[in-house]
A = this chain, B = another copy of it.
Amino acid sequence: MNKQTEILEYINKKISSEGYSPSVREIGKAVNLKSTSSVQYHLDNLIKKGLLSKKANLSRSLSNNKRNKTFLSVPIIGEISAGSPLLAEENKIGEIPVVEERYNKDLFALKVKGDSMIDAGIYDDDIVVVDKNIEPKNGDIGAFMINDTEATVKYLDTISGKKYLIPANKNYENFEVNENTQPVGKVVSLFRDI
């Protein structure tokens, strides 16, 4: 392999595994270059090619131009154990990546069970991302807790003055919002494995 690409790959590996850039000397050790100036030589070339960025005189400031985006993970909540809070660790069944611009502390994801929202394009086993910051309004798809034990995803709407959770499937009935129905947040995005 080319020394330059060898260096670039080592930098990528280091950043993604450790979370920070290697130093010039670490690079040299990793790719068998005994002199720091040899490493500098290749770094300069990589920077000229636009493949790498770095701040002058600044330690461990290398960053890959091609893959720089950071993603944050949001927990996926599965079945909710009776009595445990929704976001309890025991209910977590996985993680889903979210782009940083969209991330906030009140995001979480739910695995949808059943076909009650199929006409909204939400299928069994789909994963929906819920923002607890946003209270679902009429017409929104929201996540709701029923009796503190079950999370459900439905349309919210008002019919003749009463609020209902409304499935997107003719085979299911509307459910009138009562004191055991707690809005959790608005559904903002959806993932599916095909």
Contact = CB atoms under 8 A, between A and B. Distances in A.
Interface of A: 15-21, 23, 53, 55, 58-64, 66-73, 95, 97-100, 118, 121-123, 126, 128, 141, 187-194
A112 to B, nearest CB: 11
Given A191-B191, A194-B188, A68 B68 contact: no
A141 B193 CA distance: 12
A152 B59 CA distance: 47
Contacts of A66: 72-73
A72 B67 contact: yes
Contacts of A58: 20
Contacts of A73: 66-69, 71
Contacts of A72: 66-68
Contacts of A62: 20
A118 B193 CA distance: 16
B16 A100 contact: yes
A64 B19 CA distance: 8
- Shortest 3 CB-CB contacts between residues of A and residues of B: A19-B63, A97-B97, A71-B71
Contacts of A71: 68, 71, 73, 97
